[in-house]
Amino acid sequence: MIVVASDHGGFALKQEILDHLRERGEEFEDIGTYTPDSCDYPDYAERAARAVVAGTYEKGILLCGTGIGMSIAANKVRGARCALCFDGLSAELCRQHNDANLLALGGRMIGPELAKRIVDRFLDTEFLGGRHNRRIGKFPEIESRN
Ligand code: RB5
């Protein structure tokens, strides 16, 4: 189960991604925003990231104008590993090396076809584990020193 969220800046691209998820036969939930009216991306990033970390959803896809705000806000949640991606290779590597559990996309930065390819690579790639486990295990150590 995938959670999808956007602000107004990611709203249009989110509609394309939702259609793509339907075509892929994915189970997903769109937790908003539901209109193109201006809103605040941290509200959606926090809700989605907390739900992923809690295990309600396996992964999350967040969209704002640049993807930057969503990724910054999501990564404030302990246990969130949100990767902002502009290409397919980054989407593959954020899964293989970082076990990213959320993907951020910039609705004003990339077109729908590239965004769908990024989503596919993100959803279809597994974490490699091994030495990467030790490295991502240091994320909570950093958080505990805050
Ligand atoms: C909203 O105007 C815009 O700031 C937001 O969508 C996002 O790009 C922030 O990082």
Tell me the pLDDT tens digit for each residue of 82-133: 999 999 999 999 999 999 999 999 999 999 999 999 999 999 999 999 999 9
pLDDT value for 28 = 98
Report domain extents, the chain.
2-144
Mean pLDDT (whole number) for 5-9 = 99
Question: What φ, ψ does residue 96 adopt, rounded to 5°?
Answer: -60, -45
Cβ atoms of 94 and 114 closer than 8 Å: no
**pLDDT-based confidence at residue 146 (cuts at 50, 70, 90):** very high
Check residue 85 and give its pLDDT: 99
Where do the H-state alpha helices sit in 59-111? 68-74, 88-96
Q: What is the CATH number of domain 2-144?
A: 3.40.1400.10
d(CA 36, CA 33): 8
Cβ(68) – ligand 1 distance below 6 Å? yes
* Closest C-alpha to ligand 1, atom 2: 9
Residue nearest to atom 8 of ligand 1 (CA): 65
Query: Could you read off the pLDDT of 15-44 as tens digits, one per residue?
Result: 999 999 999 999 999 999 999 999 999 999
